[in-house]
Amino acid sequence: MAEAPQVDNAQLMELLSVALGVYYGEFTLAAASENLTASQGKALTVLRRGPIAMRALADTMACDASNVTGIIDRLEKRGLVRREVSASDRRVTNLVITTQGEKITDAIRAKMHTTREGLDRLGAEDRNHLSALLERVFGQPS
């Protein structure tokens, strides 16, 4: 049996580009259907992992802290997030997703049919492998 051809980094980067393009396009449309920008949807997705400081959210989203302030102001007005003073450092403001914010995040994910259908085609073993590979390449989600 012939050995499978080696896939080089350029080919992998192209596959990631296509996959992320599909994901991001679908995410942007799903967020818009909930009257959110892609950045607001991303902030909710990050906050779904747990409370996070404003600075850490800015770092995770790779944007300026002043941009995050505007994003959070709009999400807070809609009751999707709230600010809390950190118990360990009163100078730090933590951001917490609300129950309504969680529902919106779930609605966005539910509308991402192409992504969900692609992942549904994977069995449990393939899902575990994909998860392990993504963690090796990109590290743990922040």
Give the pLDDT confidence score for residue 86 in this predicted structure.
80
Q: What is the reported pLDDT for 90?
A: 82
**How many angstroms from the chain centroid is the CA of residue 49?**
9
Whether 81 contacts 91, CB under 8 Å: no
Q: Report d(CA 80, CA 91) in Å as an integer.
A: 23
Tokens 């051809």, located at residue: 5
Q: Maximum CA pair distance of the chain? A: 64
Q: What is the 3-state secondary structure (H, E, C) of 73-130?
A: HHHHHCCCEEEEECCCCCCCEEEEECHHHHHHHHHHHHCCHHHHHHHHCCCHHHHHHH
With CA atoms as reference, report the closest residue to 82 among 67, 99, 65, 66: 99
The pLDDT of 11-34, averaged and rounded, is 95
**Arithmetic mean of pLDDT over the chain:** 93
86: closest CA among 115, 117, 51?
Answer: 51
Mean local confidence (pLDDT), 1-10:
84
What tokens were used for 103? Answer: 């529902």
Residue 140, pLDDT above cutoff 80: no
Model confidence pLDDT, tens digit, residues 99-130: 999 999 999 999 999 999 999 999 999 999 99
* Res 141: pLDDT: 56
Q: How many CB atoms lie within 10 A of CB 41?
A: 22
34 DSSP assignment = T
Q: What is the pLDDT of residue 65?
A: 87
Has residue 142 got a pLDDT over 50?
no
Higher pLDDT, 92 or 44: 44
Provide the pLDDT confidence category of residue 139 given band limits of 50, 70 and 90.
confident
pLDDT range class, residue 21, cuts 50, 70, 90: very high
Provide the pairing of β-strand 52-53 with 81-85: unpaired
What pLDDT digit, counting tens, does each position of 29-56 carry? 999 999 999 999 999 999 999 999 999 9
pLDDT of residue 71: 96
